[in-house]
Structure 1
Amino acid sequence: MRDDSSRAVLLAEYEALKAEQTSRIVLRDRLMYAALAALAATLALVVQPTGRPYLLLLLPLVCVVLGWTYFVNDQKISAIGRYLRRHLAPSLVASTQCADQVLTWESVHRRDPLRRLDKSMQLVVDLLMFVVPALLSVVLYWTADDVRADLLVVSIAEALGTLGFAARVVVAADLSVRVQGTSRL
């Protein structure tokens, strides 16, 4: 009976983690649309004939905040997957005494021969979505005719913050093909 109750707890944990992972995936994907909307709105404001280049400085803040939220959600999604592969699956295998037949999807999809290419492209898209517009808007502000000293300081801070964010995204990129953790998963 003890094996049945521990198995039930493990399965409940799996279901809860998959539900959290799914909700984070939905939020993460919606953040891309929010970033596109913010980019369009900022560009619409900037191209107005009144010439307010300082509005360009809104975009780095929006891009980094949305990008960081996207990044953190993506990290949690990956962390849940790692936990399922490395900890929960072996516990379920031990509780059911079946060999390697538990939560195989958590590892199998990572063995796709195009995974490294897909992950590399995702890194490029993430940088194009959250970093490039922010840096371009700062550079465009710097080339404007009426750059104010106080906003120049703000723009430099935004550029540095954006570059720091970009470095963090690149360092965290999981471009591996091999499933890390247990060899059977």
Structure 2
Amino acid sequence: MRVLFVCSGNICRSPLGAQVLTARLGPDAPAFEVESAGTIAQDGAPMDPAAAAQSERLGGVPGDHRARYLTEAIAGSADLVLTAERAHRSAVVSLAPRAAKRAFTITQFARVLDGLAPADLAGVSSPAALVELVARLRGTVAPPADPADDDVDDPYRRSTATHERVADEIAAALTVIADALRAVR
């Protein structure tokens, strides 16, 4: 399964998300191709050092991450797209309309998973079936009172405390997502 994280510059939130999800998947990580891209990324830009430090703190491996610009091919080839903000999800769907059923904000996907009953998950036997189920049931789980609560703030050029808060928010959502993906693998 190919999981794509999308943010703006592909130097903070999306690489952090990809790295933390890989860490949270643990021994099951090789069954997933986890990557990232940005809607306004400058190809080859390095990961923001503050975001890389947060990734390391949360078990991620920043390595030699290099930003890449989101294209139709990248968006269209993903089995699950997790975006930092609703605007990024819109950009993905504009590039690859068929991705609409597979694209969510990170926090939305986790929120819908949290809202499902165990009976909802009966018979789900693959990560692809899980994505299909969440897409089908996303309208049955109450949305946040403020739609912006489905967005993850951009920490770029902000304080260490902001980077830490954003990283912790992403990590909390990805723990829910990784647990669900591992459970149906």
Which one has the largest radius of gyration?
1
Q: Scaled by the length of structure 2, what TM-score is found?
A: 0.28
